[in-house]
Amino acid sequence: MFSSLGSLANSLSGPFSNMGRLLSSHPSRQVRELPDGTDTVRVDLPGNTQLLFVRDAAVMATLAERRGLDRGNGVNLLRSVFGTGTLFLMPHDTAHHRRAGEFNRLFSQRQTDASTPDIAARACRAVETVGAAVAAAPETPVDMQDVILRYLFDVGAWAITGVDVDLGAEVAVFRRGVDALHREATAMLKTALAANAPWTADYMAREARDAAREFQEAGRRMLIAGAERHGLADTLALRALKRYGIDPASVDASTRFPPGILVEVSMNLAASLFTTGNLIERTLDHFERHPDELRALRLSIREDFPAGVRDLPQLRNCPTLRALLPVMLAQSPVGIVSRDVVEPTEFVDGDGIHHQLRQGDAVIFDVEGMQARQALKLDQALSEEGRPTLDVLNQRHDDVMQVFFHGPNQCPGRFLAVADSALFLIEMLSSFDLHSLDRQRPLERGIVNRLGGSPLMRLSPVRPARAEASPVPATPTRTLPPSVGRAISPP
Ligand code: HEM
């Protein structure tokens, strides 16, 4: 369906206040306020430009491949914060093609499947560390954001370099940067200003920019650690050194790296943190608010993973993952993907209406809403027990997977994201009851969707724990309780 600003305004509160709200908030918030049943919504903006909200997966699949849609001036503000060499902000040029190709090869489904035991070992370690802290001081609340981020730093740095790198000291600056970004760079007005007058970007989001620079220390430490592996493995860190003409054998603690490579490596790590971190935190929150689902999930976990995930060779479809994965995807932190129209292009929407996009227009893809509509198809894709679960993320299943986008910018970290969050969640949810101190944490929609309020939780071990576990059935045949895996509509 197609609706102009006029009809949209009728369903909201009048064109002027609607425009004011549009400009003062983030499109991730706006898109949730669009009338139900609208697949393509156009909003006319001042200056004869239009903003198009796309909520039809088939249209997204078509437009994601078009050269006319790209990351253009609309990401000026974010580029000024993170750096122009940030892969998730690069336009479709040769440099992007090469770097995205490397990333996709090194983080492929095959690689991630092969890494499952290593990731699982880190998930077990993270949960055991929390267990020890809780045993020592049962009443002391745990900062779960910190626990999750430390785990993701471990996995991310290892995946990028091939070695363990202790980046615990960088957690605080990362959190500071994300908080500042939410405060300073959420309003669409700022994005629009930086798009039209690029010089203004430098005057915005100063705290976030300072934190991103400070976070480059994580990149420096990963490059030094990763260089030691030269000749042993092919990693993103070594690829980056090679592209910059730096001989890894010459790298040591005193090496001064060009700023570009530090941006590249630190932002690859950041991409894995502010997405997956929020997904895990929101999924824990979901199960805290849905105790029946949690009970049913724990029963599944006891049957499917009686010894936990340690030494698990691969994630394979089973009742646990069939229940868990849809909940995780519904808590995805990336609500929208936005694109600038850099060349005129046209398309026909699901209702047969012809749309013309002109240079300067902007397109917002509602990936969160589109994912929610794929619930049944996703459930079918996960229903074949014993098949590798990460299959649902490969391109043959693009119809069930929208949160990672499509086309040349489809998330290359998606296999890792699903594997590391599922492994952590299975261990954590089966080991502990978690109670937030802040009972009503609001969902803050912005550059990523995240929970506001306090991340402090009180943890108590689940009793009786694994002693009660029954042996793994040769072929699990249980049907899931109806409540499990239903929470797939956006909150
Ligand atoms: C829940 C977890 C995640 C979600 C929902 C997610 C989602 C997305 C989406 C929607 C995009 C396209 C953005 C755009 O084109 O504007 C993207 C791109 C990207 N993601 Fe992820 N992502 C996740 C985890 C990860 C992880 C773990 C990594 C790294 C290991 C990663 C690395 C990247 C990179 C480098 C890009 C840019 C790709 C390109 O432009 O070629 N992401 N992600």
Q: Among 314, 345, 365, where does a domain finish?
A: 365
103 lines ligand 1 (CB under 6 A): yes
Q: Please choose from 26, 88, 154 the residue to mutate so as to test ligand 1's pocket, defined by most ligand atoms within 8 A of CB.
A: 88
% of the chain exceeding 90 in pLDDT:
72
At residue 358, the pLDDT reads: 94
Mark whether 65 and 9 lie in a shared domain: yes
Shared-domain flag, residues 442 and 356: no
pTM to 2 decimal places: 0.90
Same domain, 60 and 191: no
Instruction: Read off the CATH number of the domain in which 8 is found.
Output: 3.30.43
Confidence of residue 172 (pLDDT cuts 50, 70, 90): very high
CB-ligand 1 contact for 276 (6 Å cutoff): yes
The answer to whether residue 491 scores a pLDDT higher than 50 is: no
Residues 447, 346, single domain; the answer is: no
Atom 18 (ligand 1) nearest CA: 411
In a domain, 430, yes or no: yes
Q: Are residues 65 and 75 in the same domain?
A: no
Instruction: Look at the alpha carbons of 355, 359, 361, 365 in this order and tell me if their dihedral is positive or negative.
Output: positive
| C-alpha–C-alpha distance, residues 81 and 446, integer Å | 16
Write the residue with the smallest CA distance to atom 1 of ligand 1: 276
Q: Which residues pair with 450 in a beta bridge?
A: 444
Residue 479 has pLDDT above 80, yes or no: no
Q: How confident is the model at residue 482 (pLDDT cuts 50, 70, 90)?
A: very low
Note whether 359 and 387 are same-domain residues: no
Q: Ligand 1: does its nearest atom lie under 6 Å from the Cβ of 267?
A: no
In terms of domains, do 316 and 352 share one? no
Q: Is the CB of residue 337 below 6 angstroms from any atom belonging to ligand 1?
A: yes
**What spacing in Å lies between the alpha carbon of 131 and ligand 1's midpoint?**
31
pLDDT digits (tens, 9 = 90+) for 275-326: 999 999 999 999 999 999 999 999 999 999 999 999 999 999 999 999 999 9
Contact predicate 173/214, CB 8 Å: yes
Q: State whether the beta carbon of 241 lies less than 6 angstroms from ligand 1.
A: no
Decide whether any atom of ligand 1 lies within 6 Å of the 87 Cβ. yes
Give the domain CATH number at 420. 1.10.630.10
Would you say the CB of residue 284 lies under 6 angstroms from ligand 1? Answer: no
Nearest CA to ligand 1 atom 17: 411
- Write the pLDDT tens digit of every residue in 191-237: 878 888 888 888 888 889 999 999 999 999 999 999 988 777 799 99
Q: Which atom of ligand 1 is nearest to the CA of 420?
A: 27
Number of domains in the chain: 2
Please indicate, yes or no, if residue 481 is contained in any of the structural domains.
Answer: no
Pocket test for ligand 1, best of 97, 191, 275 (most atoms within 8 A of CB): 275
474 in a domain, yes or no?
Answer: no
Structural domain includes residue 192: yes
Q: Is the CB of 412 under 6 A from ligand 1?
A: yes
Q: Could you tell me if the CB of 422 is within 6 A of ligand 1? A: no
C-beta 334 within 6 A of ligand 1: yes
Quote the ligand 1 centre to 272 CA distance (angstroms): 7
Whether residues 154 and 59 share a domain: the answer is no
Report whether residue 192 contacts ligand 1, using a CB cutoff of 6 Å: no
Judged against a pLDDT cut of 60, whether residue 6 lies above it is answered with no
Residue 489 lies in a domain: no
Please report the atom of ligand 1 found closest to the CA of residue 267.
35
Q: Within this chain, do residues 440 and 380 fall inside the same structural domain, yes or no?
A: yes
Does residue 477 lie within any of the structural domains? no
Domain boundaries, position 44: 1-70+337-365
Residue 446 clears pLDDT 90, i.e. is over it:
no
| Shared domain check, 202 and 350 | no
pLDDT at residue 464, rounded to an integer? 65
In this prediction, residue 412 carries a pLDDT of: 97
Examine residue 484 and state whether it is found in any structural domain, yes or no: no
> Of ligand 1's atoms, which has the minimum distance to the CA of residue 279?
1
Is the CB–ligand 1 distance for residue 280 below 6 Å? Answer: no
Examine the domain organization and report whether 290 and 415 are in the same domain.
Answer: yes
56 in any annotated domain: yes
